[in-house]
Structure 1
């Protein structure tokens, strides 16, 4: 029996009075769409050898979270809005570095997008949920999950980019739930997608690491969203050793085969 790839999924630190390591189940439900299995990676990098953990994995997924990255991580003197999760910040940065050193693919979602952006020297802004924006990116705080994740908008995929090649389309509609986003882009990053109001929605390293970050939530109701399924299938190909471009072209070909009913 062929061995399935193993993905490490970063945990968040929850329940302050009795700290626990946790991952929202919706992210774990996306793993089978990669054709992979998963293990949880605790945000306790002072207690574990991150490089040793990464060496045993085929890739990493950095998930969304209720917490924000501490502003000092991206050279901001403003206090910013919490809650914060410093152990996750530190663990994510160490995981990203180790993945680059060991050529392990990484997929970042929402907070994971922001972690990858900060790791590659971008800065963040914290105003994308303001109600007076032409395009809001997060519903008002406190809404039930179903209402919060009902917010959708279109993103334009960069022409000739990895996402455009994989999706086979110039734009897609995504589920949006983020207060933060990139303020100043680093020259170490390439933009893969933007929203109609110019907010950067996806990036990858300019140096070619097999890393992609998306600001939206492809894990939300993934079974109902063909674009999300394609994104996770694309990442599954990276877990099996494909390059960014090889996986994108294969994802596009497989989609074309499904549409035409070919074998």
Structure 2
């Protein structure tokens, strides 16, 4: 029986996939995004060990409700593909119950996702943090694995929603956004791009963990900047919100 390191779970509506969803947060992440709102999920050691059966027992408590609300189960993190076998088994069990499944991932560990896992996933929420040299300074890692994973999802016809966090001075470069928009438009399986304005809601967690919040002095984006970036994606024929 697969076991995983679980940070927590919660119910959400309209943020982590369609409908009201049971959202499972796994512990552990290979990236260190400067704007991360959940630094408490970085380390696997901080999660509780759970079996798939135990997770499914929690999901079962809400199954009637989330099904009636047109929702399902989302696995996020941390990074769920740091624990691919556990993620795959939970999703497979969900599909056997007729529950809709959504994977929220950076794609950096996309090579760890088996074809069977992808077959049990619809859609993938793919976080593309930047589309130029800013990616490494923003995350501590390279962009190439995420783009490779995005191309693979397109090849397999797996529906994708792109998430793009807009950080003034870091991810608002016009040419980089045009490059990302052109890449996304060429995939053929992207339902839309969610342009997510940078926020500081996780700042208190950094204080509690005695970790400096790197973007404490960075402003949130103006409505005009958000509109400009959404418009750039739309100019390439990509739905953007």
| Range of TM-score over shorter length | 0.3 to 0.5
Structure with the larger helix share: 2
